[in-house]
Structure 1
Amino acid sequence: MGRLLAVLRAPAVRAGFVVLALGACVWALVSQWDDVTDAVSTIPGGTLLGATGLSLVYVSLTMLSWRAVLADLGSRLPLRTASSVFFVSQVGKYLPGGIWNVLAAAEMGADHQIPRRRSVSVMVVSILVSIVTGLALAVLAVALAPGAVADRYGWVAWALPVVLVVLLPPVLNRLLGVALRVTRRPALEEPMTARGIATAAVWALLAWLVAGAQVWLLATAVGMDETFASFALAVGGYALAWTVGFLVVVVPAGVGAREAVLAVVLAGQLDAGGVVVVVLLSRVLLTVADVGLGSGGLLLARTSARRLRERPRSDQVGS
């Protein structure tokens, strides 16, 4: 990892990474363009607009969960700076390998005096928080979806308490310490606290609810009943789909695996055509959100860098 981070420090490599990652996001959209246009034609414009807004809110809430962990470990970033670092780094998840967003966050965080080992630990803890809260909501999908879901994904019920133990501060801090010693990195200056983990978990739960609301909004537009049970199924189904998709680390951003799980969950609520429309549009709108927020984060980063370069000149003029 140290060698990879060293390579990313070269300005040309960093710029190339952003271009490549954003290009991968755009390609994910363009490669499905015909299917997307067909799906869009079946959804009212207001519903699409609302689902797009929910996608943007979802990604923003995941940033706030990450920022809470970062603050708990000793680095408090202003919202503007945190948004820039997180949103730009997240487009790296569209590249194969499953580590590029972590490495990008570590390198961008170093520009703001955040030790790279801390950035990596923050991303790891944030992912664990997402997995635990996601598994908690995935239990809804297992309970409410057809029997095929329970047969295939019933393991979430026993996996949840196992993973939950990992988030207990004494256990989590010990695991982070062991990982840093194994990789011959200095220990963290600040341990994770119960308050920090709880704050991150609240933001993560809100993010899951918003993501599920996006799926529910699309699904009800193509025939799913507008009930609390269907909403709970959408929330739990998306959380389950994300968790399984994350575990398939060789696939960029869980592409394919996430959609397959969500399709199984929704199969009892929609016909085959409706399932395809919801699954496809949910992924596309989240990709659009990542592209939009990543581009905005890049603009914020460049604006901040320009202000830092101009500040000495302003001081000099005034003196």
Structure 2
Amino acid sequence: MIKSLITETIEEYQQLQDENQRALRLRKEELKEKFPRLAEIEIEMKTLGIQIVKATQSNPKQIDALIHQLREKSIDLQMERSEILASNGYPVDYLELKYQCSKCQDTGYIGSKRCKCFEQRLIDKAYKQSNLHNLLEKENFDTFRMDYYSDERDNDSETSPRKNMEGILLVAINYAKDFENHNKNLFFYGSPGLGKTFLSHAIAKDVLEKGNIVLYQTASDLIDFIRNNKFDQSNNDPDPMMERIFYSDLLIIDDLGTEHLTEFAKMELFNVINKRLLKGNKMVISTNLSLRELQEKYPNRLTSRILGHFQLYKFFGEDIRLKKLANL
């Protein structure tokens, strides 16, 4: 799938460049009749450009002075054009190409490396194809309901489920809001149906909307993808998704503990988490396991990374999904 998305995205950038050129031609046509001098300036600037190129290829003794003289003329013409535009109520850059992304100038690439905007388009396409895009519209901070959580404290807890969730919700909101200004990792754990996946979706939505690259995978899907990528003999090209697993701005691993836990899975989970920690790339992980079950299920070198480098938040209370079903 990813190869077809890359091809589709490259075509979109070509269309975007064509649209930029077409829009510029229309703006030039618009002003051609009103201000004939602008068309003359454009011709003169093109002529100067040719003269500068020729100057670099001849008369080596006077080349610096000649190029300086030609560039001074070019600056004068640009200033004259800006004055005409500004005095008639147009932006001074009205006759220049407009880009959605100034970094890559809508090519999708900076040198030989894909621009961040290209990567984000791929992520958005992947989410739309996986239906996660629609899910994020339903599960976000605006739709989170605190009334599903009891405000009564039981004997095993120091606080009520609602009070506990109010604190976790605030943490999640601030995590997404200040995403560019911190280097935190979150670990959500507790019984099923308490909102861990919901809050992960909410964080993903807000961080995505800030223009960051977010990769969301269940632990099972993550391991399956890595396994297929490593052992697919027919695939000679590196999959860009592998790079995003390690280098996306945020990696969300949902349902840790549901994957088929082989030695391969243990090793790859450690590699992903450890490498991202070393690079300072943020993560949110959720699991239905208790901390004791986590330590019993996974090797110490993996759990020590989680317990030592993640902020841990326990979810407790009644299963929200059962409450929702009861209200139908």
TM norm structure 2: 0.25
More helix by proportion, 1 or 2?
1
Q: Which has the higher contact order (CA 8 A, sep 6+)?
A: 1
Computing the radius of gyration from Cα coordinates, the structure with the larger value is 2
